[in-house]
Structure 1
Amino acid sequence: MSSTASAHVQRTRHKVPGFDPHNDAHVAAVEKKVSDEAGTGFKVVGFDPGTQVVTFERTRAVTEVVAEKGSTRLVASLRTGAKPSDGDREAARLENQHPGYTMTRFEPHLSNAVLEQLPEEVIRCRSAVANALSVKPWDVQAARRRGGGFVLQLPRSYMPSKHDEKLTEVAENVVGRPGWYVDADPKALTAQVIPAEPPTFPAAISYPFEETIPDRFADPDGWAQLPLGDILPERADTPRERFTLDLEAGPHTAVNGVSGAGKTVTINAAIYGAVTRGMQLAIVDVPAKKVDFLWAKRFCAPGFWGCDSLEASVTTMGLIYDEGQRRAEVLERHSVVKVSELPPTEQFPPIFAVVDELTGLLMPEEVPKLAKDDPIRLEAEQINSDKARLKRFIKKTAAELRFVGIKLLLSTQVASSNTGITPDLRTNLQNKILLGAKPTDGNRRLALNDPTMVPRIPENVANDKGARLGVGVFETESEPGVFKSFYADFREYEHRLASLEAPTCGSPSPSQAQIAKYTGGESFDEAPQRLPDDDPWNGRRAPKAESDRVYSDDGTELKGAAAAARAAKKAGA
């Protein structure tokens, strides 16, 4: 390295009528006026009383350091009296005097500045980082990184919690592309902008069947965590973490997503995890969709297959609610607040209740404007009565019975008041899952408590035909994130549950007696009792005799309230 130094004297003369060289205040005022016009640092060095001309001078020193191979770095002295606020003005002056150089350091307390020749991409990176940190460009040092990217020296004002998200935006959207990341060392005030591919998912992630299933009594914390999928990591080189549904931290869950988004996939994984952990399974669905869960029907507890009719759905949820009330009485009798505090002989297994197609189950029918005893109107009113009962059981279970081991998973496409899912129900569902690669902002607002805190599906995942299958976002009691559901064929779930000798029931549908009790039909005392599990009618009564059937005028057989109204009308005729 070699250096040269030289001193430069700048001189200027001005006529100042009435100038008094012996008046310090007058001298200072004249020096300030000249400095404001010609630059700081000028001092009075001479005065000609005859011509009233004052001579001003200032000395400037410039030191130039020449690197080997012609790479040049300049150290320039600043104007006398330069302040930190003068940085922009000094940068413009010095860079104008030295084309091709950029001011990289500004040190007014040392009265110098450093200028360097920088590549355009380094200048852009330095400027973008400085803007993200709300500092001046010369407060950030930047250089090319071996292997691509940039190395940075950060200012003392850098704070990870305040600035890391902004630095990531610089890495991904200004100097790089999605997948680039910033690796910062806050203590050393250094960072690297590192090129990388964005994180993504494989086309399918197999369910972890081989993992040990935690025991409810030996591992009370890990036992209730149902594995549902993998979480998208922040970087592609970081291992994916597991997304688990912690039913102890939050027992009730909402799963939302349009058709084809991957709800049968996610719910199947949850069902398998719940049954393998010894939970009693209940499934409620509209009859048209029950085929999705037929594989799990035999693993439902007695009366807990509520998918054959709306009346069956009402009955299953009524049975669950009443069982919750019975359990609450047991806790009260033993003066405890947790199931785990009960004596071993009094403890009861948790209930995992899946309610699918919630909108179809709860959204009221339009009641036609017909005569009050018209069968069509009576049928619509009966349907709405059953839906109201079902909604009441679901809401009261979610609000009142989380402490007795009842875990609800409610699934629908759109969770809004217009579709039957009112805010008082949504607020009692602690875990929120929204499936689908490209949900609308409206769906995010309806499905999530605080959509601004939940990340979106990255574009590279959303636009990948394989990676986007079964993806969604979650918002639980602990954290939000992006995940992809585990996948297994429903036949494999069924086979593995059978090989584990999971409890089964030959007739899990509610009996007609139970249906009568919970839907307001014939009285429970008059209704026939439930038949044995080997009953060929699967717990239902034998078909009516022809003499018991009721028909409308056009020959259509009437049932339920419509049949009762028709029979009463005939009797009074």
Structure 2
Amino acid sequence: MGSNTQIQRTSHKIPGFDPYNDAHVLAVEKKISDEAGVGFKVSSFDPDTETVTFERIRTVTEVSSERGSTRLIATLRTDAKPSDGDREAARLEHANPGYTMTQYEPHLMRGVLEQLSEEVVRCRSAVANALSVKPWDVQVSERSGGGFDLRLPKSYMPSKHDEKLTEVAENVVGAPGWYVDVSPRALSAQIIPGQPPTFPEAIPYPFDEKIPDRATDRRAWAQLPMGQILPERADAASPRFALDLESGPHTAINGVSGAGKTVTISAAIFGALARGMQLAIVDLPSKKVDFLWAKKFCAPGFWGCDSLEASVTTMGLIYDEGQRRAEILERHGAVKASELPPSEQFPPIFVVVDELTGLLLPEEVPKISKEDPIRIEAEQINSDKARLKRFIKKTAAELRFVDTKLLLSTQVASQNTGITPDLRTNLQNKVLLGAKPTDGNRRLALNDPSMVPRIPENVANDKVARLGVGVFETEAEPGVFKSFYADFREYERRLTAMGVPTCDSPAPSKAQISQYTGGETFEDAGQQLPDDDPWNGRRVPKAASDRVYSEDGTELRGAAAAARAGRQSSA
């Protein structure tokens, strides 16, 4: 280490200068100091040329071979203040090309300059901006193995700054997959290169995991395995995504066609059945093929997929069963099912309602004669849909404490498609499937989209990794996940091997359909039909003698037919 004293001079022509007037001399020295830097004093005056020479003494200390670079310790201006850092940095760096001021110590009247690479300078500037401090408040050096070592200022706060530091690592000095490892107590950090996390082509369902015992660990038992969560880093383990049906019994699954709803819902169905829950499935007849593998595992009356009337009936049966269970709770003075004595416990009912929009969206009623069969049919459909919606909403709102668990699935969860706000608010768990959902779909499907991460581009653009991918929002946390996968035949085989109860005729009976929809059944007409009745309790064409027609020859049905028949019989 060595030091040397330098005398800096500057000369200026100052007409009328009076070296014997102290006030004049001080004024001239101040003016020159403002222009050329603090510390200049008059040293000589040539009256012939009216030239004044000013001098100041500066001391520069050099320290070499530290971190393989040269450091300079420069004396600051005598009046330098903490707020003058930008001015001093610009002055010193201009006077010492290739050096950057890395420390500013006005109380010691010195600044430290170092030779830094362009990458380090850029990283230092980005980190300082993220922490809202000056660049010299952050110390940055190149890290062995790539990336950067950081020394952080005392103002660093993990909750305030970690997300911003990650943005610097991923988007400024590195790439997706780079991460920040911070030691808050030591005020040190590393920006470390890495690869972005992703998913494999398929994640097998964890069939070999032991199911917790309901009696001894009800909360663990109620966790339905759904998939794996995308970890923060590629080298980290993937956490489990599970539906916690104890704290959040009702779930909404949204996603466009092909997003992986047959996959995700099937995993939930298997988990529920494997835990001894009763299964109910409600779906459009045209879509029921997706769950035919699970039909025989539905409880009696709980396969509501063969017709709209069957869907209404299944939900009606579930709601009434919930009322029966509520009466049991009341008799025992219990608030929820888990408080009942073991002898009075009943199995939870896991209700899957798929294609909710198709089931609830009203038909357009044509503005034609009230007796026209087309209008009558549309009105009847809407009446049944209104009944179905009422049962679903009341089940969601009233039956969570009697161990009824709803899983509602649709493509778009909006009020225009039948998903009203009062229904959405009773669905604690939200799942949105699909690699690239629109902002509109995120707003409709999630409670607070701003708190739910988006699917990273490396996953969304990977044709293999993005299969079965989505985001979730539960009462515990949000995240990105990929559904467990198994062939439906494997689900069916394993459930059979486990001895899960089956039912030969899980669809609602004709009498039950009549009870919940007010529709005519075959029994009402005194007809005996085979067991494989394709109408499943719905009305069948009447005999010719039973048909009723309007004056223009149009066949009438329902209330219009009854009114017409009454007028004819009284005529």
Q: Say whether the fold is shared (TM-score over 0.5).
A: yes
Question: C-alpha distance in 1, partners of 2:299/2:232?
Answer: 42
* 1:495-540 C-alpha deviation (Å, 9 max, x unpaired): 111000001111111111111111123699x9699x9xx9665985
Q: Which residue of 1 aligns with 2:446?
A: 448
Query: Counterpart of 1:110 in 2: which secondary structure?
Result: coil
User: After superposition, where does 1:81-480 map in structure 2 within 5 Å?
Assistant: 81-480=79-478
Cα offset for 1:194?
0.8
- Give yes or no for contact 1:183–1:193 (8 Å, CA) kept in 2: yes
Question: C-alpha distance in 2, partners of 1:339/1:438?
Answer: 40
Q: Which residue of 1 aligns with 2:547?
A: 550
Question: C-alpha distance in 2, partners of 1:535/1:438?
Answer: 46
- Give yes or no for contact 1:4–1:65 (8 Å, CA) kept in 2: no
Question: C-alpha distance in 1, partners of 2:66/2:499?
Answer: 79
Question: C-alpha distance in 2, partners of 1:227/1:158?
Answer: 39
Cα offset for 1:61?
0.9
Question: C-alpha distance in 2, partners of 1:279/1:330?
Answer: 19
- Give yes or no for contact 1:60–1:77 (8 Å, CA) kept in 2: yes
Cα offset for 1:64?
1.8
Compared CA separation, residues 28 and 227, structure 1 to 2 (3 A): farther
> Which moved further from structure 2: 86-95 or 240-249?
86-95
- Give yes or no for contact 2:170–2:176 (8 Å, CA) kept in 1: yes
Question: C-alpha distance in 2, partners of 1:91/1:100?
Answer: 13
* Equivalent residue letter for 2:82: P
Q: Which residue of 1 aligns with 2:487?
A: 489
Normalising by structure 1, we get a TM-score of 0.91
Report % sequence identity.
74
* 1:184-206 C-alpha deviation (Å, 9 max, x unpaired): 11111111111111000000000
Number of residue-to-residue matches in the alignment = 565
Question: C-alpha distance in 1, partners of 2:122/2:541?
Answer: 84
Question: C-alpha distance in 2, partners of 1:545/1:419?
Answer: 35
Query: Counterpart of 1:486 in 2: which secondary structure?
Result: strand
> Which moved further from structure 2: 62-71 or 369-378?
62-71
- Give yes or no for contact 1:10–1:60 (8 Å, CA) kept in 2: no
Cα offset for 1:37?
3.4
Question: C-alpha distance in 1, partners of 2:423/2:167?
Answer: 38
- Give yes or no for contact 2:5–2:57 (8 Å, CA) kept in 1: no
- Give yes or no for contact 1:285–1:306 (8 Å, CA) kept in 2: yes
Among residues 65, 68, 75, which one is paired with 1:67 in the alignment?
A: 65
Query: Counterpart of 2:180 in 1: which secondary structure?
Result: strand
Question: C-alpha distance in 1, partners of 2:383/2:249?
Answer: 28
Question: C-alpha distance in 1, partners of 2:273/2:364?
Answer: 38
Question: C-alpha distance in 2, partners of 1:316/1:68?
Answer: 79
* Equivalent residue letter for 1:4: S
- Give yes or no for contact 2:373–2:555 (8 Å, CA) kept in 1: no
Query: Counterpart of 2:198 in 1: which secondary structure?
Result: coil
> Which moved further from structure 2: 341-350 or 463-472?
341-350
Compared CA separation, residues 70 and 500, structure 1 to 2 (3 A): closer
Cα offset for 1:55?
8.1
- Give yes or no for contact 2:19–2:45 (8 Å, CA) kept in 1: no
Cα offset for 1:107?
1.2
Compared CA separation, residues 491 and 560, structure 1 to 2 (3 A): farther
* 1:89-126 C-alpha deviation (Å, 9 max, x unpaired): 11111111111111111111111111111111111111
Question: C-alpha distance in 2, partners of 1:559/1:503?
Answer: 41
Question: C-alpha distance in 2, partners of 1:192/1:151?
Answer: 5
User: After superposition, where does 1:29-48 map in structure 2 within 5 Å?
Assistant: 32-42=30-40
Q: Cα RMSD (Å) of the superposition?
A: 3.2
Compared CA separation, residues 379 and 232, structure 1 to 2 (3 A): same
Compared CA separation, residues 497 and 240, structure 1 to 2 (3 A): same
- Give yes or no for contact 2:519–2:538 (8 Å, CA) kept in 1: no
Question: C-alpha distance in 2, partners of 1:393/1:12?
Answer: 95
Question: C-alpha distance in 1, partners of 2:451/2:179?
Answer: 20
Cα offset for 1:138?
1.1
* 1:234-277 C-alpha deviation (Å, 9 max, x unpaired): 10000000000001111110000000000010000000000111
> Which moved further from structure 2: 434-443 or 114-123?
114-123
Query: Counterpart of 1:328 in 2: which secondary structure?
Result: helix
Question: C-alpha distance in 2, partners of 1:283/1:570?
Answer: 44
Cα offset for 1:59?
2.5
- Give yes or no for contact 1:143–1:152 (8 Å, CA) kept in 2: yes
Unpaired stretches in structure 2, ≥5 consecutive residues: none
Cα offset for 1:476?
0.3
Alignment partner of 1:507 is 2:501: no
